[in-house]
Amino acid sequence: MHITTLEKPAESASLDDWLHYLELIHPKTIELGLDRVTKVARSLNVIKPAPYIFTVAGTNGKGTTCRALEMILLEAGFRVGVYSSPHLLRYTERVRINNQELADSDHIRAFAQIESARAETSLTYFEYSTLSALCLFKQANLDVVILEVGLGGRLDATNLVDADVAVITSIALDHMDYLGNTRESIGREKAGIFKSNQVVVVGEPDIPCSIYDVANSMQIKLHGCKPNPDYDWQYRQLDGKTWQFSSRIRCYGNLPIAKIPLANAATALAALTYSSLTISDEMICQGLLKTELTARFQIISQEPLVIIDVAHNPHAATYLNSQLQVLLKQRSRVGKLRVVIGMLKDKDIASTVNILQADIWYCASLYGERGSKAADIAKHVTKNSHTIVTCFESVSAAFAQSKQDADIDDIIVVCGSFHTVSDVLSLVVNG
């Protein structure tokens, strides 16, 4: 493929300079396929970045499942690297080594390595990012690497690595332009991460037949959860603070509830249970107590209560709405529920806003080719509700108005996209 003739960043270039370069050197933002990225990975010798690897795919819950795995493994004394995307505030969030982001200079050095190795091979931003993470992991001499799949699974850049444990968190309708418009087609793409002689764990409570078909064709034992047929692990909440997990090989009682969806904590625990790694009950409990992740039903201020959540599809909106209902029941005084929302136009906007319940909506336009206009979101809100709806040219303007309008007993929820939440987080961090 012909690549652009952009000039490579100078040795003194900043991380921002490099990221700008990466955004422009490939003609497409997304181009699924493994041939190009695998060729460069082999040249860099990063196909196996650590002795033990988890790859996590799924429509929702990938980030929180990776986080639970990470915190438990760190508690158990392993040296752990995590690759996740997208980032919220800083590119450096995408790579964590022993729960720490790396310096800009480390990323720049990895980019320079890739630039030398790729020759005439053209790479997307995400492919470049993935190779960079693998380089950084290989150099850090880690015990375990956790890779969060970016899009789908079969053709995602992370799938160039043969993982020891493959995890699928959930299957719902999203990215349908790339993955198909049914759960069966999406499930087949997610199952593309399966490899021979691999442990496979699925946290989806209604596993599509396509996932079973892929596993059976490869003669892989699939470890599914209840209520799937032939399930071999299950979990249940005991009270407001504890839950239990049981499987065919190991059971845990009185586990602490982490600050992430219980289904994702359970999926992470299943992945560890069926892995060959040895981890004590105490390490699991301590790891769960430390597990939380930015922008997953995260409270960032009080009076009024402000919650940020990256929910951007119907499946995630359903969970967000359930958490809000629990919160509302816990509060002695409840004012109005105000939702600040900005979404990408390739998402299922109509279904997402129909699930969320609010008294007042602040619809914001998102920038870029994929960004939806506020008016387009508002059309779907007004179809399904008699609430007050206002449109804004930016997330910052929408959020500022919601704060100005709110009484101390009100709740403001910011959701709809990583971009939406990122804009609000930037406002909070930068004052």
pLDDT digits (tens, 9 = 90+) for 240-259: 899 999 999 999 999 999 99
Which candidate, 89, 58, 69, 96, places its Cα nearest to that of 308?
89
| Confidence category of residue 384, pLDDT binned at 50, 70, 90 | low
Give the mean model confidence (pLDDT) for residues 261-276: 97
Residues 229 and 194: beta-carbon distance below 8 Å? no
* H helices, E strands: number in the chain: 15, 17
How do residues 79-112 score in pLDDT, each as one tens digit?
Answer: 999 999 999 999 999 999 999 999 999 999 999 9
**Token digits for 372?**
């939806």
CB-based contact 153:193 (threshold 8 Å): yes
Across the chain, mean pLDDT equals: 93
Q: What residue ranges define each of the domains in the chain, with the CATH number in brackets? A: 15-289 (3.40.1190.10), 298-430 (3.90.190.20)
Identify residue 33 by its one-letter amino acid code: G
Instruction: Specify whether the CB–CB gap between 74 and 80 falls below 8 A.
Output: yes
- Residue 5 banded pLDDT, cuts 50, 70, 90: low
What's the pLDDT band for 169 if we cut at 50, 70, 90?
very high
Give just the sign of the alpha carbon dihedral 379, 152, 53, 247: positive
What local confidence, expressed as pLDDT, does residue 28 receive? 74
**In the predicted model, is pLDDT for residue 57 greater than 90?**
yes
Run of H or E including 43? helix 35-44
- The whole-angstrom separation of Cα 316 and Cα 136 is 31
The conformational region for residue 164 under phi > 0 = left, psi -120 to 50 = alpha, else beta, is alpha
- Structure tokens given for 156: 């995602």
| Cβ atoms of residues 412 and 338 within 8 Å | yes
Rounded Cα distance, 262 and 264, in Å: 5
Query: How buried is 222 (Cβ within 10 angstroms: 0-12 exposed, 13-18 middle, 19+ buried)?
Result: buried
Take residue 268 and report the two structure tokens written for it.
């992470």
Q: What is the pLDDT of residue 385?
A: 63
Per-residue buried b or exposed e for 334-349, using 16+ beta carbons within 10 Å of the residue's own CB = eebbbbbbbbbeebbb
- State the amino acid at position 90 in one-letter form: R
Burial track 354-383 (b if 16+ CB lie within 10 A, e otherwise): bbbebebbbbbbbeeeebbbbeebbebbee
Burial class (CB in 10 A: 0-12, 13-18, 19+), 185: middle
Task: Please state, for a pLDDT cut of 90, what percent of the chain lies above it.
Answer: 84
Round to whole Å and give the CA distance between 385 and 228.
35
What pLDDT does 431 receive? 62
Q: How far apart are alpha carbons 346 and 355 in whole angstroms?
A: 18
> Closest Cα partner for 343 from 326, 328, 360, 356?
356
Distances in Å between the Cα of 254 and the Cα atoms of 51, 221, 282 are 32, 28, 11
Q: Is residue 362 a contact partner of residue 398, using CB atoms and an 8 Å limit?
A: yes
Cβ neighbours of residue 374 closer than 8 Å, sequence gap 6 or more: 342, 363, 364, 365, 391, 392, 393, 398
Q: Distance of CA 379 to CAs 134, 248, 413, Å?
A: 43, 50, 19
Rounded to an integer, the average pLDDT of 137-160 is 96
CA Rg value for the chain: 22
**How sure is the predictor about 369, in pLDDT bands with cuts at 50, 70 and 90?**
confident
